[in-house]
């Protein structure tokens, strides 16, 4: 048990409280066999695309959201906006240490990890309560009353701002010399909000809602969830009209929303940046990473870590590119179309890596967040009488944490194989003789190998963290 957070915890969340419960070679072979068997089973049993039909789902509450749920959404928006204001105040005017300030644990654990976990399992709750979206809608309303004209966002911008924003976030988390400093995080949030205000006045709140970095990423992961708005094509995303009862909610099969997840310019880049960043974070904390990078500090260290981050992103991009090139060579299809079709298959991997990488952080530090609310700025307050409480590190055993991490990686990659298989069934014309299905299977061979490599790399990082 402990009362204060380790300042390195936020910069590098990977790790387990113990070694893997079985030797690494067993997990590696087990993961490879599981992926291979899932591929064979899909080839035998999954002979036509099914996810798109499954994504239609069924209504949860009829055609309209019940008043109670609309009220809960409004309450959630108020709480999220209030928490953002509290974090900004604590960051600017409170103690500038992550061991006493509520901002770092809120930013790196509750918002970053928690939103992804909820989205992958249930749906894009972040899209319903995001304080950034609330601010954008408020700014748009004020601008409308002032008679300010809003132009249409350029069609080719897409998710490129989200990819750039995710890279900036990962730089702060992994490379910045003071990435866990409440002051630095407060300034980063303030700049982020200022950009949202400016772009909202230019392009409107709807564009921000879909393409703000955190909202865009969580929306993609939310396509895995079982709950979605029945009025939005961006499956997993609550549409802007859902809050006023204009749309209902539906229940669908897990991961089926990935079959209709919108892919625009920058969607793939966003996913690869996040996947490369998570991989690099794990490598830096591994024995090999420590031998290579040591314990870099200051801006010289930040430069070295940034180069490593970029190289990691390029590595995962190259692996994905190899799979795409093979698929194109087998099917004869254009690379752009194949890339767009297979981009959603990366979402389960991003989700699995996030859970595996930050499992310990989430389990341990959500408790700390609650305690920190008693004294959010580290000024000696004790509002709820828990300022001196400490996290219970025995809630889950080290073995349970390790199994959670391993299963998250494994199921993430099996999910990716399933989505890739379903998309390949859509891409390739089966024809009357069924030959197309053979091409669809052959087109996935290298992509399956890529998944095995990703899995082995993820397990190796867990074992060496």
Residue 17, C-beta contacts closer than 8 angstroms, at least 6 positions apart: 360, 393, 398, 401
**What pLDDT does 24 receive?**
57
**What pLDDT does 68 receive?**
75
Contact assessment for residue 396 and residue 402, using Cβ atoms and an 8 Å cutoff: no
**What pLDDT does 64 receive?**
65
Cα gap 182→260, rounded to integer Å = 39
Phi-psi region of 378 (alpha: psi -120 to 50; beta: other; left: phi over 0): left
Q: Would you list the domain boundaries of the chain? A: 8-464
Residues facing residue 59 across a β-bridge: 250
Cα gap 42→52, rounded to integer Å = 16
21-29: long-range contacts at Cβ-Cβ below 8 A with a sequence spacing of 24 or more?
21/399, 21/402, 21/403, 24/459, 24/460, 24/463, 27/406, 27/459, 27/463, 28/455, 28/456, 28/459, 28/460
Token pair 């995303």 is found at 237
CA of residue 366 relative to chain centroid, distance: 18
Q: What does pLDDT average to in each consecutive run of 10 residues of the chain (465 residues)?
A: 41 46 58 65 70 86 72 91 96 92 92 91 90 94 86 83 94 91 96 94 84 92 88 40 53 91 92 92 76 75 90 91 81 82 90 84 83 90 80 75 81 84 71 47 62 66 60
* DSSP per position, 205-270: HHHHHHHSHHHHHHHHHHTTSSEEETT-SSTTPPPTTGGGTSS-EEE--TTGGGGG----TTHHHH
Q: Is 58 helix (H, G, I), strand (E, B) or coil?
A: strand
Q: Is 465 helix (H, G, I), strand (E, B) or coil?
A: coil
Cα gap 391→132, rounded to integer Å = 30
Cα gap 22→268, rounded to integer Å = 34
Residues facing residue 249 across a β-bridge: 229
pTM above 0.75, yes or no: yes
**What pLDDT does 446 receive?**
63
């Amino acid at each position: 048990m402990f009362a204060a957070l380790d300042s390195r915890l936020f910069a590098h969340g990977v790790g387990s409280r113990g070694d893997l419960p079985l030797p690494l070679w067993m997990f590696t072979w087990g993961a490879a066999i599981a992926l291979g068997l899932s591929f064979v089973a899909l080839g035998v049993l999954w002979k036509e695309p099914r996810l798109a039909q499954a994504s239609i789902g069924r209504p949860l509450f009829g055609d309209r959201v019940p008043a109670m749920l609309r009220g809960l959404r409004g309450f959630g928006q108020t709480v999220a906006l209030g928490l953002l204001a509290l974090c900004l105040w604590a960051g600017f005017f409170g103690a500038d240490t992550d061991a006493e300030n509520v901002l770092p644990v809120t930013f790196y654990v509750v918002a970053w990890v928690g939103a992804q976990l909820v989205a992958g399992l249930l749906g894009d709750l972040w899209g319903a309560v995001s304080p950034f979206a609330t601010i954008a809608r408020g700014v748009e309303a004020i601008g409308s009353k002032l008679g300010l004209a809003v132009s249409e966002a350029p069609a080719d911008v897409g998710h490129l701002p989200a990819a750039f924003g995710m890279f900036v976030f990962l730089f702060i988390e992994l490379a910045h010399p003071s990435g866990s400093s409440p002051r630095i995080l407060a300034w980063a949030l303030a700049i982020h909000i200022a950009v949202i205000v400016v772009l909202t006045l230019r392009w409107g709140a709807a564009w921000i809602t879909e393409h703000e970095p955190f909202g865009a990423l969580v929306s993609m992961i939310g396509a895995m969830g079982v709950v979605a708005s029945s009025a939005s094509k961006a499956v997993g995303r609550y549409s802007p009209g859902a809050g006023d009862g204009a749309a209902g909610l539906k229940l669908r099969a897990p991961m089926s929303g990935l079959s209709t997840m919108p892919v625009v310019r920058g969607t793939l880049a966003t996913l690869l940046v996040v996947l490369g960043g998570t991989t690099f974070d794990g490598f830096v904390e591994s024995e090999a990473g420590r031998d290579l990078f040591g314990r870099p500090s200051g801006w010289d260290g930040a430069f070295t870590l940034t180069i490593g981050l970029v190289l990691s992103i390029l590595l995962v991009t190259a692996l994905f590119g190899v799979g795409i090139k093979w698929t194109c060579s087998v099917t004869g299809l254009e690379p752009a179309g194949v890339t767009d079709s297979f981009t959603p298959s990366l979402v389960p991997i991003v989700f699995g890596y996030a859970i595996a990488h930050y499992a310990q952080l989430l389990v341990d530090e959500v408790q700390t967040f609650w305690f920190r609310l008693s004294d959010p700025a580290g000024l000696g307050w004790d509002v709820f009488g828990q300022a001196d409480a400490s996290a219970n590190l025995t809630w889950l055993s080290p073995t349970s944490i390790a199994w959670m991490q391993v299963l998250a990686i494994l199921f993430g990659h099996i999910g990716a194989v399933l989505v890739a298989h379903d998309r390949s069934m859509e891409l390739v014309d089966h024809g009357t003789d069924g030959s197309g299905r053979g091409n669809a299977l052959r087109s996935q061979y290298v992509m399956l190998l890529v998944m095995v490599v990703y899995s082995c790399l993820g397990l190796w990082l867990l074992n060496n963290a």
